[in-house]
């Protein structure tokens, strides 16, 4: 008997938290569905070249969306849904919600949509389009965090269920720190705090560079990711006199090999939804410090991690110094926290239940 066909629909399949979540969820649902991954933007070959993990997918396509409103995209997407006899559609963020919902009209497809952040609703047009789409297409509306659900409900949007994101715990594991450092060419004896993100202003990496100036010489900062701010951040590091203690790695493909090299993971963003990097780091038994944005507070183990409430460097110094001094032998609590609060198995089971209820 043929399996039902599920499409994971994203705006652009590039390295990022929600895209990683879509892949992780799809892997866990393969037992029950024929899972397809579809990107509205970009060309498939280019996206796979930029993110080699996509090469491992059995069914990945991209529709090369044009700039602005692209009416032809609805037709292309509808042809895809018909061709592969899609039974279930899972969209992520506002673009896939609108285009996916419009393309699926009259096809008997069960539509589930997940919201990954609440701050975008502060933009009036986003709020209006979200309300319109949920009224017209009537998908099951999911938030990936309680904070995201509250933000949408406060703006008059409907949320039916909160399903926290889950990390692939079988892949993100603690391992030998020195071996990990050698693999990435990192200093063996330094204390390494790291961050992984798109290098854009919203991610607040400049905060970490300023913080580094207040920490001992033995502390280094490791930055994984690409973005428009890379050159500016490198110049800032030079100007602050910490360039020799900063390691810009660019895009890292095997993040599960990178986290174990760290003594501490930092997330300094100005806005977030439910960042997967916090769970990934803790699954590898690396403590985290994060700003109090989005759902970060619920994703950090308070026994061996910290949420920072403000922007001042002084507010970061004490928790960073404390967590850098922790022995590695005491960190098992971090992985236990992830397994109980952010397991991919639990996430997949909750989505499976919802998809079956919709059917």
pLDDT of residue 61: 97
Separation between Cα atoms, residue 102 and residue 118, nearest integer Å? 23
Separation between Cα atoms, residue 88 and residue 219, nearest integer Å? 49
- Start-end of CATH 3.40.50.2000 domains in the chain: 5-166+343-358, 177-341
Which overall architecture, per CATH, does domain 5-166+343-358 show? 3-Layer(aba) Sandwich (3.40)
The residues facing 196 across adjacent strands are 224
Per-residue pLDDT of the chain (359 residues), as tens digits, is 689 999 999 999 988 888 999 999 999 999 999 999 999 999 999 999 999 999 999 999 999 998 888 889 999 999 999 999 999 999 998 999 999 999 999 999 999 999 987 666 666 677 788 888 888 999 999 998 888 888 888 888 889 999 999 998 889 999 999 999 999 999 999 999 999 999 999 999 999 999 999 999 999 999 999 999 999 999 999 999 999 999 999 999 899 999 999 999 999 999 887 888 999 999 999 999 999 988 889 899 988 999 998 778 889 999 999 999 887 777 889 999 999 888 899 999 999 999 988 76
pLDDT of residue 79: 97
DSSP codes joined into one string, 195-227: EES--SGGG-HHHHHHHHTTS-TTEEEEEE---
| Residue 243, burial from CB neighbour count under 10 angstroms (0-12, 13-18, 19+) | middle
Q: What are the tokens at 176? A: 């030998």
Q: What is the pTM of this model?
A: 0.84
Cα 152 to chain centroid distance, Å, stands at 19
Separation between Cα atoms, residue 266 and residue 203, nearest integer Å? 11
Class of domain 177-341: alpha beta
């Amino acid at each position: 008997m043929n399996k039902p066909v599920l499409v994971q629909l994203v705006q652009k399949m590039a390295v990022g938290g929600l895209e990683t979540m879509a892949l992780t969820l799809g892997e866990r649902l393969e037992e029950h569905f024929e899972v397809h991954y579809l990107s509205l933007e970009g060309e498939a070959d280019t996206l796979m070249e930029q993110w080699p993990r996509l090469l491992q997918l059995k069914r990945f396509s991209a529709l090369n969306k044009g700039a602005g409103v692209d009416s032809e995209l609805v037709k292309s997407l509808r042809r895809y849904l018909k061709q592969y006899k899609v039974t279930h559609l899972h969209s992520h963020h506002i673009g896939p919600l609108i285009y996916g919902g419009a393309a699926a009209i009259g096809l008997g497809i069960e539509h589930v949509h997940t919201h990954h952040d609440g701050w975008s609703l502060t933009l009036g047009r986003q709020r209006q389009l979200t309300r319109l789409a949920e009224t017209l297409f009537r998908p099951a509306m999911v938030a990936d965090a309680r904070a995201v659900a509250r933000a949408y409900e406060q703006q008059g949007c409907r949320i039916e269920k909160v399903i926290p994101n889950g990390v692939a715990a079988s892949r993100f594991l603690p391992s030998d720190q020195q071996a990990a450092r050698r693999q990435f060419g990192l200093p063996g004896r330094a204390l390494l705090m790291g961050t992984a993100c798109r290098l854009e202003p919203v991610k607040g990496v400049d905060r970490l560079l300023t913080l580094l100036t207040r920490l001992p010489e033995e502390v280094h900062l490791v930055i994984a990711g690409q973005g428009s701010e890379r050159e500016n951040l490198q110049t800032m590091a030079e100007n602050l006199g910490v360039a020799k203690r900063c390691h810009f790695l660019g895009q890292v493909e095997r993040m599960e090999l990178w986290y174990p090299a760290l003594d501490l993971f930092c997330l300094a963003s100005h806005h977030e939804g439910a960042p997967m990097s916090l769970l990934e780091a803790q699954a590898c038994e690396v403590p985290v410090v994060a700003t109090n944005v989005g759902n970060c507070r619920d994703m950090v183990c308070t026994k061996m991690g910290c949420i920072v409430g403000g922007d001042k460097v002084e507010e970061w110094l004490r928790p960073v110094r404390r967590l850098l001094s922790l022995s590695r032998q005491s960190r098992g609590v971090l992985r236990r926290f992830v397994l109980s609060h952010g397991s991919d198995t639990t996430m997949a089971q909750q989505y499976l239940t919802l998809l079956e209820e919709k059917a």
